[in-house]
Amino acid sequence: MKVITAYCNLRADECLVNGEVVSRRDAGSDDSWFKQIYKQQELAYPKFYKMDVLSQAGYLASELIKRATPGISETYADDEIALVFANASSSAETDRRFIQSYEGGGSPSPSLFVYTLPNIVLGEIAILNKWYGENMFAVLPKFVPGFYLDYGGILFASGSRALLGGWLEVTAGGTDVLLFMVEEQESGMEFNEANLLHLSQRVAAY
Amino acid sequence: MDSLKEDLKKQIIEQLNLEDLTVADIADDALLFNDQGLGLDSIDALELIVLLEKYHGIQLTNPEEGKEAFKSIDTMAAYIRKRKEA
Amino acid sequence: MIYIGAEVIVSPLGDNAEDNWQALAENRSGIALVPAVGFNKEDIHLAKIAGLNGRLRFQQLVIKALIGVKACIDDSILTSDRTIVLISSTKGALDDNLHDQFGETCAAVMQQFNLAHLPLVISNACISGVLTLNVAGNMVEAGQYEHVIVIGCDVASDFVLYGFQSLFAVSDKPCAPFDAARNGITLGEGCGAALVSASESVFKNTPLQLLTGTSANDANHISGPSRTGEGLVRSVSRTMQKHGIGTKEIDFICAHGTGTVFNDEMEAIAFDRLSLPDKPLNSLKGYFGHTLGAAGLIETAVCMQMMRNGMLIKSLGYRNEGTSRPLNIILENEPKSLRTILKTASGFGGGNASLMIRDL
């Protein structure tokens, strides 16, 4: 059966892997919350600093999921891990910053513009891991398990063997991120509506 | 401390929207366009050209010259000094 | 079998597939020089729809396209629980509401057409259109829905124009895909739509067959095309393999062909690696500009018109060979019976997607 083999939640003050807190926000730090996670988890990928918040969130959560599923990149061929992400506000936060770059006397910033598409985070994860598989980004009013279950089912039926699913809502109003890895296994947390809803609500509760 | 180099680091952080970085995170000799350095790319090179003009009044028209100048903070500072002397 | 038909094109060249076809048959372009629209008030070539101004431009186009589709099908399926609308777009109604670029349009469309489900928005940069058609085909094949209406739409905005200007990626003349002197894209706006269905009888005109394709990431760079064409090669070869189609059977390729130096070069390398360099090929960007999330829909709809009318359309803007691997670019319109065509797209984020259409 299809099983959620690892998941990562990022919320306002905590970063959790498989439900366990792995990083806590230090309110006294000058560093952004995502940079605190990057440092606390001793990650080393300087491109992180160039990424917009969506890509930073996707990078952090996918790296932590890889740690929790050792050997995932070796288990599958380079095009067998599909990425299916969604959120509600597209790349609005970066869009706002890009508009700021050219309104009020400045000039449009190319390094911001290239992040004004929600699917760029999929590209960042694909580049880092050299994953050539299927990618899809949808914009939905809210987290809906059925979206991942339906499209995941299609991808599993057409050659993908693992699925990295993601809900990435990072705005001025809050951080609500859930990434989860789905693989074929004999037992474990089944990839179904109830479990996905449960994992997502762990985020929404805060 | 070389104030031009410190200024350059601040300007790069500002121009490239790298507000997660601090001046202390950038070594003078780190390769800016190397994945182990800052991991900059051709898009960022466009920003560096803007930076040279905006903060230092230097117009860079030859991309090859940019390649050499943008290797590291050290080479950028040397390039700016050379252009200002000329 | 998965059917595709009821194609609609709303562009500077007309409000329906027939008017657009007429313009293409005459090699008329929708691109014009628009005064003082650039960031530094430069005149810029754009493919803009006349009279489309003000608020709700995105919503207006989507609704117009859906009205067009409705007229070409058994319209009772619109309200069916077995029907869903997919919207392919990059920036949606950004100018109306930065923080919710699609919500208002989806709600309005659902209400106006009394849809059973809220439209689903897919936003994957320039491959959105081809990818969304593939999602539609997959949904029908898996039995999740019986009918999927796919609408691809993007409208012109300062935001996108300034962005491409900041990348020095905007052409100083109408874009010239695959030409030696190409130097960038020309932006366009428009909307394309079609119905993908398990049922042949819901189409008023004879539909075609959708051979659903696959997508693949380049894993190379978020905004720079791959130097090897790896993602495009993988996408096309998987799409052909999936349907047991050999290179011999492909009659025509509708390429992405944005008109930037590196994109078109990447595509030439990929088609060469795929042993497809001798296939008649065009880019339609010289007619419509780059319509981003609408491009895959508009261009697939044109392919369907080419098949229905038995005519190859010339690749507007192309004069001299300009890629390291030669391609068979269509120089003049030419009558030709087309049985199987290949449509590809590549875009920011490293995405590549492809699909095939076959006549019945």
The confidence score (pLDDT) of residue A202 equals 60
Q: Are residues C132 and C62 in the same domain?
A: yes
pLDDT band at B41 (very low <50, low <70, confident <90, very high): confident
Nearest to A109 among B21, B37, B47 (CB): B47
Nearest to C163 among A116, A127, A135 (CB): A116
Q: Are residues C73 and C193 in the same domain?
A: yes
Q: Are residues C326 and C213 in the same domain?
A: yes
C221: contact with B, CB 8 A cutoff: yes
Q: Are residues C242 and C345 in the same domain?
A: yes
Interface contact C168-B46, CB threshold 8 A? yes
The confidence score (pLDDT) of residue B1 equals 66
Residue B44 to chain C, least CA–CA distance (Å): 10
**pLDDT score of A204 more than 50:** no
Closest-CA residue of chain B to C163: B43
| Beta-strand runs (E) in C168-251 | 187-188, 190-197, 208-211, 215-217
Interface contact A47-B39, CB threshold 8 A? yes
**pLDDT score of C57 more than 60:** yes
Q: Which two tokens stand for residue C265?
A: 């070069």
Could you say which residues from 162 to 201 on chain C have a Cβ atom under 8 Å away from some Cβ of chain B? 166-168
Q: Are residues C169 and C216 in the same domain?
A: no
Q: Are residues C165 and C97 in the same domain?
A: yes
Domains of chain A with CATH codes: 2-199 (3.40.47.10)
Closest-CA residue of chain A to B40: A47
- What's the whole-number mean pLDDT along residues A157-176? 95
Q: Are C231 and A130 in contact (CB under 8 A)?
A: no
**pLDDT score of C326 more than 80:** yes
Contacts of A134 in chain C (CB under 8 A): 214-216
Residue C208 to chain A, least CA–CA distance (Å): 22
Residue B44 to chain A, least CA–CA distance (Å): 6
Q: Are residues C151 and C36 in the same domain?
A: yes
Nearest to C349 among A78, A89, A120 (CB): A120
Q: What is the CATH number of domain B3-85?
A: 1.10.1200.10
**pLDDT score of A152 more than 70:** yes
Q: Is residue C247 part of a domain?
A: yes
Residue A5 to chain B, least CA–CA distance (Å): 30
Count of all residues that appear for chain A in the document: 206
Interface test with chain A among B20, B38, B41, by most A beta carbons within 10 Å? B20
pLDDT digits (tens, 9 = 90+) for C61-82: 999 999 999 999 999 999 999 9
Helices (H), chain C: 17-25, 57-71, 103-113, 128-141, 158-166, 230-242, 261-273, 285-288, 295-309
Span of B58-72, C88-102, C223-237, C346-360 with lowest mean pLDDT: B58-72
Contacts of C224 in chain B (CB under 8 A): 41-42
The confidence score (pLDDT) of residue A203 equals 46
Residue C344 to chain B, least CA–CA distance (Å): 25
Contacts of A122 in chain C (CB under 8 A): 124, 217, 349-351
**pLDDT score of C308 more than 60:** yes
DSSP state of C91: S
Interface test with chain B among C166, C170, C260, by most B beta carbons within 10 Å? C166
Helices (H), A32-190: 33-40, 53-68, 72-75, 92-102, 110-113, 120-129, 145-157
Q: Mutual orientation of helices B42-56 and B73-85 as an angle, nearest 10°? A: 40
Q: Is residue C279 part of a domain?
A: yes
Contacts of B42 in chain C (CB under 8 A): 224
pLDDT band at C38 (very low <50, low <70, confident <90, very high): very high
Interface contact A49-B47, CB threshold 8 A? no
Cα–Cα distance list, C302 to A197, B39, C16, C343 (Å): 42, 41, 11, 11
**pLDDT score of A138 more than 80:** yes
Nearest to A50 among B18, B25, B46 (CB): B18
Name the neighbours of B, counting chains with at least 3 Cβ pairs within 8 A. A, C
Could you say which residues from 6 to 25 on chain A have a Cβ atom under 8 Å away from some Cβ of chain C? none
Q: Are residues C80 and C155 in the same domain?
A: yes
pLDDT digits (tens, 9 = 90+) for C160-214: 999 999 999 999 999 999 999 999 999 999 999 999 999 999 999 999 999 999 9
ipTM of the complex: 0.97
The confidence score (pLDDT) of residue A206 equals 40
How do strand C351-358 and strand C208-211 relate by DSSP bridges? antiparallel
Contacts of C167 in chain B (CB under 8 A): 43, 46
Q: Are residues C196 and C109 in the same domain?
A: yes
Nearest to A110 among B20, B39, B43 (CB): B43
Interface test with chain B among A111, A114, A128, by most B beta carbons within 10 Å? A111
Contacts of C223 in chain B (CB under 8 A): 43
Helices (H), B1-86: 3-15, 42-56, 63-69, 73-85
CATH number at residue C64: 3.40.47.10
Q: Who contacts A161 (Cβ-Cβ below 8 Å, separation ≥6)?
A: A76, A77, A80, A81, A183, A184
Name the neighbours of C, counting chains with at least 3 Cβ pairs within 8 A. A, B
Q: Is residue C180 part of a domain?
A: no
Mean pLDDT of chain C: 97
Q: Is residue C181 part of a domain?
A: no
Q: Are residues C249 and C352 in the same domain?
A: yes
pLDDT digits (tens, 9 = 90+) for A56-107: 999 999 999 999 999 999 999 999 999 999 999 999 999 999 999 999 778 9
The boundaries of the domain holding residue C162 are 3-174+187-202
Interface contact C122-A137, CB threshold 8 A? yes
How big is the B-C interface in CB pairs under 8 Å? 8
Helix (H, G, I), strand (E, B) or coil at C344: strand
| C42-69 CB burial, b ≥16 within 10 A, e <16 | eebbbbbbeebeeebbbbbbbbbbbebb
Number of independent structural domains in chain C: 2
For the entire predicted model, the pTM comes to 0.95
Q: Is residue C106 part of a domain?
A: yes
Nearest to A46 among B16, B17, B36 (CB): B36
Distance, in Å, from the CA atom of A88 to the CA atom of A99, rounded to the nearest integer, reads 20
pLDDT band at A205 (very low <50, low <70, confident <90, very high): very low
**pLDDT score of A141 more than 80:** yes
Distance, in Å, from the CA atom of C265 to the CA atom of C286, rounded to the nearest integer, reads 17
**φ and ψ at C318, to 5 degrees?**
-85, 130
Instruction: Give percent of chain C with pLDDT exceeding 70.
Output: 100
